[in-house]
Amino acid sequence: MRYFSQLIIILLFVSCYNEPQNSNSVEKQSDITASPDAIEFYKLKKVSIIDSKEIEISFQIPKESTSNLAQENELGRFETEYNLDETLIIGLRNLESQYTIRFDNASDYLKTVEEGISKKFGDDIQKISSMFPPSYQNVKIASVDYDLIINKHPYIRRTLYFNESVSSPLNTNFHFITWFKKKKYTFDVTYVGTGKNFTELIGLSNAIAGSLKFRTIN
Instruction: Write out the chain's pLDDT in tens, 218 residues.
Output: 444 444 444 444 444 433 333 333 334 579 999 999 999 999 999 999 999 989 999 999 999 999 987 777 799 999 999 988 899 999 999 999 999 999 999 999 999 999 999 999 988 999 998 888 888 889 999 999 999 999 999 999 999 999 988 788 999 999 999 999 999 999 999 999 999 999 999 999 999 999 999 999 97
C-alpha to C-alpha distances, 45 to 39, 98, 123, 142, nearest whole angstrom: 8, 35, 38, 28
Domains of the chain: 2-21+34-216 (3.40.1000.10)
Dihedral of CA 154/156/157/162: which sign? Answer: negative
Report pLDDT for 3: 45
- CA 32 from chain center: how many Å? 14
SS3 92: strand
Question: Cβ(92)–Cβ(190) under 8 Å?
Answer: no
Tell me which amino acid residue 188 is: D
Per-residue confidence (pLDDT) for residue 22, from 0 to 100 = 37
